[in-house]
């Protein structure tokens, strides 16, 4: 809901960290893609999974980040043209047989890389897999008492 933002660099905007989430994926099957073709969605899934891969915890594909990116563009298409242009760039390299890791390494610093990385971070770290399972977030839960910092070594 809050849209307080601060521009920190040429292409980097850090939303205020307490903002709520508009782009979280929902359980599989509830959301049908509205923007991208199946081929585009496969490519987006591969890119996102390369940015945040499955390790001992779920990755971007497990969190259906490609669907959250589709959802994002279904309500806000301001950067869609730029995003699609980037997808074509990646697709060309994929056809030449390059690995996604190599492609993204070459793209670091490219506006598309930051764009798809930001959207992947938004989707993954607002999903149950990314936020609760990976990071261990426990918030938005009523509790009787707030103890705060209880570490002796942190006290005055």
Partner 1 sequence: MQAVTYDVVVIGSGAAGGMAAWNLSRQGVNVLLLDAGTRFNPASYWSHVKPWEWNARLDRGQRPPAFRLDPREQPIELAQPFDLWRVWGRGGRTNIWGRVSLRYGDVDFEGPAKDGWEVAWPIRYMDIAPYYDKVDQLIGVSGGADDSDVLPGSRYHLPPPAPRCGEQLLKKAASSIGIRMVAGRRAVLTRPHNGRAACHYCGACGRGCDIAAFFNSSDYLIQPALKTGRVKVIDNAVVARVLTGDDGRANGVQYFDRYTKAERQVKARTVVVAAGAIDSTRILLNSKSSRHPNGIGNANDVIGRYLCEQIRFHMYGFLPQLLGSAVTNDDGITGEHVYLPRFNHRSPRQYLRGFGMQLWGCGAQANANYAKLMDGFGASFKTAVKKRYPALVALHPYGEVLPYRDNRVTVEGTANDQYGVPVARIEFKIGENERKMAAEMYDTAEAILRAAKAEVLPYRRGTVDMPGAAIHEHGTCRMGADPKRSALNGFCQMHEVPNVFVMDGSAFPTATEKNPTLTILALAWRASDYLAGQLKSRTL
**Contact set for partner 1, span 23-52 (CB under 8 A):** 23-27, 30-31, 50-52
Size of the site for partner 1 (CB under 8 A): 71
Q: Tokens 């509830």 appear where?
A: 30
Element (H, E) at 87: helix 80-95
In whole angstroms, give the CA distance from residue 38 to residue 34. 11
Q: Which two tokens stand for residue 39?
A: 């081929």
Phi, psi (deg, nearest 5) at residue 5: -135, 160
Q: How far is the CB of 89 from partner 1 (least distance, A)?
A: 16
**Contact set for partner 1, span 75-104 (CB under 8 A):** 101, 104
Residue 70 exposed, middle or buried by CB count within 10 Å (0-12, 13-18, 19+): buried
Contact range with partner 1 by CB under 8 A, out of 34-42, 76-84, 85-93, 147-155: 147-155
Q: Say whether 131 sits in a helix, a strand or coil.
A: helix
In whole angstroms, give the CA distance from residue 117 to residue 104. 10
The single residue among 28, 38, 55, 78 that binds partner 1, judged by CB under 8 A, is 55
Contact range with partner 1 by CB under 8 A, out of 35-43, 80-88, 91-99, 132-140: 132-140
The answer to whether residue 140 forms part of the interface with partner 1 (CB under 8 A) is yes
Contact range with partner 1 by CB under 8 A, out of 33-41, 83-91, 141-149: 141-149
The answer to whether residue 106 forms part of the interface with partner 1 (CB under 8 A) is no
What are 6's strand-pairing partners? 14
The answer to whether residue 147 forms part of the interface with partner 1 (CB under 8 A) is yes
The single residue among 17, 28, 95, 152 that binds partner 1, judged by CB under 8 A, is 17
């Amino acid at each position: 809901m809050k849209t307080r933002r601060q521009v920190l660099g040429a292409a980097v905007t850090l939303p205020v960290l307490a903002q709520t989430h508009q782009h979280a994926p929902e359980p599989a099957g509830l959301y049908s893609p509205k923007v991208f073709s199946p081929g585009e969605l496969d490519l987006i899934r591969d890119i996102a999974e390369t940015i945040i891969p499955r390790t001992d915890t779920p990755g971007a594909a497990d969190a259906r980040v490609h669907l959250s990116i589709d959802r994002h563009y279904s309500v806000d298409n301001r950067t869609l043209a730029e995003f699609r242009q980037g997808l074509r760039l990646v697709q060309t390299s994929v056809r030449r047989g390059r690995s996604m890791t190599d492609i993204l390494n070459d793209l670091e610093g490219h506006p598309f890389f930051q764009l798809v990385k930001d959207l992947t971070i938004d989707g993954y770290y607002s999903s149950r897999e990314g936020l609760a399972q990976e990071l261990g977030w426990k918030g938005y839960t009523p509790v009787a008492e707030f103890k705060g910092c209880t570490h002796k070594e942190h006290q005055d």
